[in-house]
Amino acid sequence: MSTGIHIYNSLSRQKELFEPLKPPFVGLYLCGPTVYGEPHLGHARPAITFDVVVRYLRHKGFKVRYVRNITDVGHLVNDADAGEDKIAKRARLEQLEPMEVVQQYTIAYREAMTRLNTLAPSIEPTASGHIIEQINMTQSIIDAGLAYVVEGSVYFDVMKYNEKYHYGKLSGRVLEDLQASERELEGQDGKLNKADFALWKKAEPEHIMRWPSPWGDGFPGWHIECSAMSSKYLGETFDIHGGGMDLLFPHHECEIAQSVASCGKEPVKYWMHNNMVTINGQKMGKSLGNAINLSQFFSGDHPLLERAYSPMTIRFFILQSHYRSTLDFTNEALLASEKGLKRLLAANKSLKELTAPAANGTINTELDAEILGLCNDLDAYMKDDFNTAQTLAALFELSAKINGIKDGHISADSISADTFALLKSQFALFTEVILGLQEEDAASHNGVTDGLMQLIIDIRKQSREKKDYATSDQIRDALAAVKIQLKDGKEGTDWTYLN
Ligand code: ZN
């Protein structure tokens, strides 16, 4: 039976019908963080993108084994085969043991991901916990004649591999161009060719993160960890491999080469890549002063931020774009997202409180069909390469209907009981379960804000009832000064942020 789900595969560069290798099981691997610093926006986008993929596939009845690794060794400062290990460097600067750095930032990452309401992976393996698997895989590539040992380091022989297979199939890069264009880097002595990459690096005496191997004391290369751990937990060939587009080359290109070289099999059926995040139109980077940590978004404590943005606002903002589009963070856009999220969750809450239509009402067939169509669209958009942007747009169209019913513009009895029941179940399902958009935890920033706002609104109401207009005006003016507007309606008083 066809799943009807289409996924854009970076390998074939087109949308393909998703058919799992061994249904109902789906193996999904996502390249996780290198834990040497505070989690930032660049971490949030892949985590949320693939969280929704996992949630949707599980909703469709698949048993998803979701593996997301923690890189705690082997990722060098320049992303290639030279420079200091990122974690060792941070440990030196902070005068910590490298595993203290790993512990601190692994916890920070997990906390941030929990606040963003992403589900925990099924398995969260670490590179340092899989040294033996990486050594074994490296040995199998040497045995296949596609890697060579130079002074205690092992390099992948890209030229030789390319004679038999195709290096560059994922990224579309041409080996000859790579050979000519790659910068000369220090510490690459011993490589036969510039495009070759390290599977194992010899540890210099001052290098603290080191393990024994058949080639002497050293540490694994960055790319081999994902090949070793994905094949261990998901098999030599598995369904979906995800990551940011910045990982497509060299990281994922190298993963394909390593797997094909060691066992002769393509490791992945569907390669999925989320696009990158920019801040105020600029690439994010420490040197540009715009690398905003997630905790700074949550607290508002950064010069580029006008105020704090809740984790759910960040999640909503990310889902408002399709994962293959670029995404630009600005204060303006985030404020709009905050409002949009509030509207969506309010509609969800209202719908839960609405009672089913009376059986003897006159059905407005046009409206009934429109609501039915929108409910069906929710799934149709998700099936089309997980188009969360379109799904959210359909939810907003439904929100308008729900608000119409709530405020009496639309008679609840003009839609059929079946359509109403479908609306009720689908709206909550897609909002809460699949997109993972929920009311903020009461302890979080927005929960506190909502609680305080309710208190202020209640005090104002009491003062008006006592005809104490001085107090009620004072409250209104004070709120206006901090750009909060009160709106009195039939259902009571509501509040919004002013731009
Ligand atoms: Zn990886």
CB neighbour list of residue 104: distance below 8 Å, 6 or more residues apart: 96
Reported as a single tens digit per residue, the pLDDT across 372-384 is 999 999 999 999 9
Q: How far is the CA of 81 from the centre of ligand 1 (A)?
A: 15
Q: How far is the CA of 31 from the centre of ligand 1 (A)?
A: 4
The CB-based long-range contact list for 93-96 (8 Å cut-off, 24+ gap) reads: none
Binning pLDDT at 50, 70 and 90, where does residue 71 land?
very high
Is 313:340 a contact under the CB 8 Å cutoff?
no
Reported as a single tens digit per residue, the pLDDT across 16-37 is 999 999 999 999 999 999 998 9
**Rounded to whole angstroms, how far apart are CA atoms 453 and 487?**
12
Which structure tokens are listed for 468? 């104490």
pTM score, whole prediction:
0.86
Give all domains of the chain, ordered by start, each with its CATH number: 6-274 (3.40.50.620), 279-434 (1.10.730.10), 444-497 (no CATH)
**Rounded to whole angstroms, how far apart are CA atoms 153 and 148?**
8
Q: How far is the CA of 128 from the centre of ligand 1 (A)?
A: 14
Whether residue 450 is predicted with pLDDT greater than 80 in this model: the reply is no
Is 10:170 a contact under the CB 8 Å cutoff?
yes
Q: How far is the CA of 29 from the centre of ligand 1 (A)?
A: 9
Runs of H (alpha helix) within 168-252? 175-181, 222-234
Higher pLDDT, 441 or 210: 210
Whether residue 184 is predicted with pLDDT greater than 70 in this model: the reply is no
Which amino acid appears at position 89 of this protein? K
Which amino acid appears at position 411 of this protein? S
**Rounded to whole angstroms, how far apart are CA atoms 178 and 195?**
6
| Exposure of 416 in the CB half-sphere (CA atoms within 13 A) | 10
**Mean pLDDT confidence for 94-116:** 93
Describe the strand order of the beta sheet including 268-274 as a list of residue ranges: 63-68, 25-30, 238-244, 268-274
Describe the strand order of the beta sheet including 218-220 as a list of residue ranges: 147-150, 153-156, 197-202, 218-220
Higher pLDDT, 188 or 325: 325
Which structure tokens are listed for 211? 């393990």
DSSP 215: T
- pLDDT at position 286 is 67
Q: How far is the CA of 296 from the centre of ligand 1 (A)?
A: 26
Binning pLDDT at 50, 70 and 90, where does residue 442 land?
very low
- Within 53-132, strands assigned E span 63-68
Q: How far is the CA of 252 from the centre of ligand 1 (A)?
A: 7
